Chain A
Amino acid sequence: MGSEHIDEVSGISTTGHEWDGIKELNNPLPRWWVITFYITIAWAIGYTVVYPAWPMLTSATRGVLGYSSRKDVKNELAAAEVAKGKYVAAIQAKTVSEITADDTLRDFAVAAGGAAFKVNCVQCHGSGAQGSKGFPNLNDDDWLWGGNAEQIQQTIAHGIRFASDPDTRLSEMPAFGDIITTDQIKQVGAYVASLSDPVQDTSLIELGANVFAENCAACHGENAKGNRELGAPDLTDAIWLYGSGETAIAAQVRAPKLGVMPAWIGRLGEIKVKELAVYVHSLGGGE
């Protein structure tokens, strides 16, 4: 900063920086600006004392206020629990049908059940509850074990063919490959397929109808409409858990695949199960 850096016009020294002939004056700062600057420095130092800041070998300084963001989260979660409290209490007190009929409670249960569904159910039923082969679609109006809110609650709580729950829904279709002949299986496959869609070889239908009446009607009903008491599916509709068409039906007659759904009551508790039931019921197929 020698005397060579003095601006001729103003008589103020310059910083010596120059851009296209324009020089920067080295004016002193306004006092208030400098004071504010020092205050921010003091503030910053104070901040690091009061709040966690300085990294140490294994952790960081904790700050004299003892603040932690984890504690904040904990408090917020606790506050959220309190805020949810009255709804949760109402859900505990009411039946799922009553919850479904109450706009506010239903909205709450659908939101809570939806969250629980994403954690516990999507692995089998899919993220949109759309299911896949062997895993029922929960959006449609076809229910193996019944589609009113109470029946859905029962299914979620105790599962299906879940051996360790005494109240589980239980049924087992025999493997007809050991009971009837291959021809009979083909015939009954054609008959069942013909109930919802036209089949190629119509000569098999009548033969298949006889086989059905002797072997299948006991559970699926004489008109093949199924039986929810036994979890026997309706064979006349458009929804097929293990695939549609003669071949897929024949395969299921020969050696049925039987899905297992776990009982959730022990793991999730009554309230979550109720919320899940309301959620599933709200997907569009609820009865």
Chain B
Amino acid sequence: MLDNTQIERLEADAVNSARTRQPLYAARNKIFPKRASGSFRRFKWSVMAITLGIYYLTPWLRWDRGPFAADQAVLVDLANRRFYFFFIEIWPQEFYYVAGLLVMAGIGLFLITSTVGRAWCGYTCPQTVWVDLFLVVERAIEGDRNARIKLDAGPWTARKLVVRTSKHAIWLVIGAASGGAWIFYFADAPTLVGELFTGTAAPIAYITVAVLTATTYTFGGLMREQVCTYMCPWPRIQAAMLDESSLTVTYNDWRGEPRTRHTKKVQAAGQSVGDCVDCNACVAVCPMGIDIRDGQQLECITCALCIDACDGVMDKLGKERGLISYATLSDYNANMMLATAGGACSVNPSLVRTADGLFSDRVAHFHVRKIFRPRTYVYMAMWSLIGLGLLFSLLTRDRLEINVLHDRNPQFVTLSDGSIRNGYTVKLLNMIPEPRTIVVSIGGLPGAEMSIVGVDLPADRSFAIQVEPDRLKMLKVFVRQPADQVRGAAQSFKFRVENKATFESDEYTATFNAPESAR
């Protein structure tokens, strides 16, 4: 018989034991961002006003293009496959301008991110702007952070019901207004707004408004920071965009640590004390609900509201602003080396200050020069080159074009007098919103004449053709060359289209086929 202590104890754990068991899902930790005030908050208000203003007002701007085209300044006319942007009109085959703009937007984002971090996320991303807007409503109705926490924790009273219902109702109205503004980019806004409210608009308009209302309400009101943390790929990509010279929102623990709420007591004990009084103001205002003092992290959208919050506290304490500030990693590292005496000890803020309490002149500060470095030069060069290329191509692009498709079957037809005839489908593109009379002619191919199906005129080398405004005209053209002037089985010649009044022209090199036996 063995004693129970003699039985070998195995290292084993049930897979579902209480110690290791985790829930399948995690509930959202509720965040109640406190209202911040300061220069970054003011900047964010103005960015919000400008971006929302552009979004809501753009479809209502008018731009006179004459009687044959829409007079809406910005219009994506899907039905007629035309895109209007002020003085620019784009046909579907010119979509590369849009692709070019998207490439510029991408490179611009790289440039901005490598200089000032996730400024897109923090200030201009629609998710950020709308969450900000929804928070304005929430604060106006439910009160600031503490009132909201209390309301949320409290029981369901009649007041809570009224407050919550009105908040969600206003959110839904904002959502509907956001979705409603979107559809005006795709149709004449004044007409559509009338149709929309009289129930006569196209079903797709109502479906679009409904879908965008739902997404705006859900993303801006209910999901908020979860969209950035879980759904958006940009937080993952940004790591590759930032380098040691990029400005990011940084907690300067080289002057903040060791943090304490009892400065005087600790100082009296003869210990060093940092500037951080551990008031948690930076955490309270954070719309992502994180603590910037934990360092740069995926969740941080660099909205800089923690800077505002902390600066306010520093002002009250009579300390220098910038405990939380925009700083580069290299400056931060240099200052950390200074504060830790080269890594020899833990942070000692007295090392960054002189005897009279001011910052030592060895403390590194950001200098604008840092923005200009090879990486940003490359981004700026790429961005400008693509922009200039697009602009050049836009200013020199054809508004009158000709495309020719040679009949492949049969390639040629021998006529009764021995002459050879080839068929072509000729497409004339009148890319301006005015009707025009243009001249289509053939160049080269001696003795050849053309005739156009549906045009009751004798064969000739040139024809005047009426083209409708902003339309493509397709012609079936037969070109006929007398037998004795045929030179070889494949002759090259030109189809030319010309508008003499505007000196516009375009030409297309086509081939004229004849039997191998032709002279």
- Which residues of B56-99 are within 8 A (CB) of A? none
Distance between Cα atoms of A32 and B23 in the complex (Å): 14
- Whether the pair B20, A3 counts as a contact (CB closer than 8 A) is yes
A3 touches B453 (CB 8 A): no
CB distance from B201 to the nearest CB of A (A): 23
Residues of A within 8 A of B454 (CB): 103, 106
Nearest opposing residue in chain A for B474, CB measure = A107
Which A residues are CB-close (under 8 A) to B476? 282
Residues of A within 8 A of B415 (CB): 140-142, 238-239, 285
Query: Could you tell me the distance in whole angstroms from the C-beta of A119 to the nearest C-beta in chain B?
Result: 16
Does A234 interact with chain B (Cβ within 8 Å)? yes
Q: Which chain B residues in 173-189 approach chain A with CB under 8 Å?
A: none
Q: Is the CB of A284 within 8 A of B413?
A: yes
Is B410 an interface residue when CB atoms closer than 8 A count as contact? yes
Contact A2 B418, CB 8 Å, known A29-B25, A30-B28, A103-B454: no
Contact string against A for B residues 410-434, beta-carbon threshold 8 Å, 1 for contact and 0 otherwise: 1001111110010100000000000
The reply to whether the CB of A19 lies closer than 8 angstroms to some CB of chain B is: no
Could you say which of B223, B407, B453 has the most chain A C-beta atoms within 10 Å of its C-beta?
Answer: B453
In the complex, are the beta carbons of B409 and A128 less than 8 A apart?
A: yes
A260 cross-chain contacts in B, Cβ below 8 A: none
B19 near A30 (CB under 8 angstroms)? Answer: no
Task: Evaluate whether A142 and B409 lie within 8 angstroms (CB atoms) in the complex, with A2-B12, A33-B230 already known.
Answer: no
Partner of A238, one of B20, B230, B410, B416: B416
Chain A, Cβ-Cβ closest to B422: A284
**Chain B contacts of A139 at CB under 8 A?**
410, 413, 421, 423
**A3–B20 Cα gap in the complex (Å)?**
7
Are B409 and A130 touching (Cβ within 8 A)? yes
Q: Say whether B24 contacts A238, CB under 8 Å.
A: no
Chain B positions within 8 Å of A29 at CB level:
24-26
With a CB–CB cut-off of 8 A, which chain B residues contact A148?
none
Q: Within A1-18, which residues are at the interface with B (CB < 8 Å)?
A: 1-3, 13
The CA of A103 and the CA of B11, in the complex, are separated in Å by 90
Task: Choose among B11, B23, B230, B410 the residue that contacts A130 (Cβ–Cβ < 8 A).
Answer: B410
Contacts of A3 in B (CB 8 A): 13, 19-20
* Choice from B13, B223, B421, B483 contacting A2 with Cβ under 8 Å: B13
Contact, CB under 8 Å: B15 / A140 = no
Interface residues of B in 14-33 (CB under 8 A from A): 15, 19-20, 22-28
Interface string of A23-37 (1 = CB under 8 A from B): 000111111111100
> Using Cβ atoms and an 8 Å threshold, which residues of chain A touch B25?
28-31, 33-35
Q: Is the CB of A140 within 8 A of B416?
A: yes
A1-B478 in contact given A127-B409, A141-B415 (Cβ < 8 Å)? no
Inter-chain contacts of A126 with B (CB < 8 A): 409-410
In the complex, which residues of chain A have a beta carbon less than 8 angstroms from the beta carbon of B230?
A: 30, 33
B226 CB-CB contact with A under 8 Å = yes
- Residues facing A in B356-375 (CB within 8 A) are none
Q: Are A284 and B19 in contact (CB under 8 A)?
A: no
Interface centre among B413, B453, B478, B483 (most CB of A within 10 A): B413
Main secondary structure of the interface of A (DSSP, over half): loop
Query: Which residues of B have CB within 8 Å of A196?
Result: 418
**A183 at interface by CB-CB < 8 Å:** no
A138 to chain B, nearest CB (A): 10
Q: Identify the closest chain B residue to A12 (Cβ).
A: B22
* CB nearest neighbor in A for B416: A237
Query: What is the bound-complex CA distance between A238 and B483, given in angstroms?
Result: 10
Contacts of B26 in A (CB 8 A): 27-31
Name the contact of A30 in the complex, choosing from B15, B226, B483 (C-beta under 8 A): B226
B28 touches A31 (CB 8 A): yes
Provide the bound-state CA to CA distance between A157 and B250, in Å.
88
- A282: which B residues are within 8 A, CB to CB? 453, 476
Question: Which of chain A's residues have a CB closer than 8 A to the CB of B12?
Answer: 2
Most buried by A among B25, B407, B408: B25
**A261 CB to nearest B CB, Å:** 20
A155 within 8 A of B: no
Residues of chain A with a CB closer than 8 A to B409's CB: 126-128, 130
User: For A142, what are the chain B residues with a Cβ–Cβ distance below 8 Å?
Assistant: 415-416
Interchain CA distance A141-B415 in the complex, whole Å:
6
Does A137 interact with chain B (Cβ within 8 Å)?
A: yes
> Could you tell me the distance between the alpha carbons of A9 and B58 in the complex, rounded to whole angstroms?
50
> CA separation between A282 and B425, bound complex, in Å?
13
Residues of chain A within 8 A of B421, CB atoms compared: 139-140, 284
| A1 engages B410 (CB within 8 Å) | no
| Contact across chains for B478 and A284 when beta carbons are under 8 A apart | yes
Selected contact of B416 from candidates A28, A32, A234, A284, CB within 8 Å: A234
Instruction: Mark out the residues of chain B between 184 and 218 whose CB falls within 8 Å of any chain A CB in the assembled complex.
Output: none
With both chains docked as a complex, state the minimum distance between the C-beta of A31 and any C-beta of chain B, in angstroms: 4
Across the interface, do A140 and B413 meet the contact criterion of CB distance under 8 Å? yes
CB distance from A239 to the nearest CB of B (A): 5
| Residues on the A chain within 8 Å of B407, using CB | 128
Instruction: Assess A239 versus B453: contact at CB under 8 Å? Given A28-B22, A30-B25, A128-B409.
Output: no
Which residues of A lie under 8 Å from residue B418 when comparing CB positions? 196, 237-238
- Which residues from B are CB-within-8-Å of A26? 22
Q: How far is the CA of A210 from the CA of B296 in the complex (A)?
A: 109
Residues of B within 8 A of A33 (CB): 25, 230
- Complex alpha-carbon distance, A13 and B24, angstroms: 13
Contact of A140 with B22 at beta-carbon distance under 8 Å, contacts A1-B15, A2-B12, A130-B409 already known:
no
Complex interface bits, B216-242 against A, C-beta within 8 A gives 1, otherwise 0: 000000010010001000000000000
Bound CA–CA A29/B230 (angstroms): 10
**Nearest residue, chain B, Cβ from A234:** B416
CA distance A282 to B452 in the complex (A): 11
Give Cα distance in the complex from A142 to B15, angstroms: 91
Most buried by B among A28, A35, A126: A28
Nearest to A282 among chain B residues (CB) is: B453
Q: How far is the CB of A285 from chain B (nearest CB, A)?
A: 8
The contact string, 1 if C-beta is below 8 Å from chain B, for chain A 187-206, is 00000000010000000000
Within 8 A of B (CB), among A239-253: 239
13 contacts between A and B (CB under 8 A): A3-B19, A13-B20, A13-B22, A31-B28, A34-B24, A106-B454, A139-B410, A140-B421, A141-B416, A142-B416, A239-B415, A284-B413, A284-B421
Interface residues of B (CB under 8 A from A): 11-13, 15, 19-20, 22-28, 223, 226, 230, 407-410, 413-418, 421, 423, 453-454, 476, 478, 483
The 7 A-B residue pairs with the shortest CB-CB distance, nearest first, are A128-B409, A237-B416, A130-B410, A238-B418, A34-B25, A28-B26, A139-B413
Residues of A within 8 A of B (CB): 1-3, 13, 26-35, 103, 106, 126-130, 137, 139-142, 196, 234, 237-239, 282, 284-285
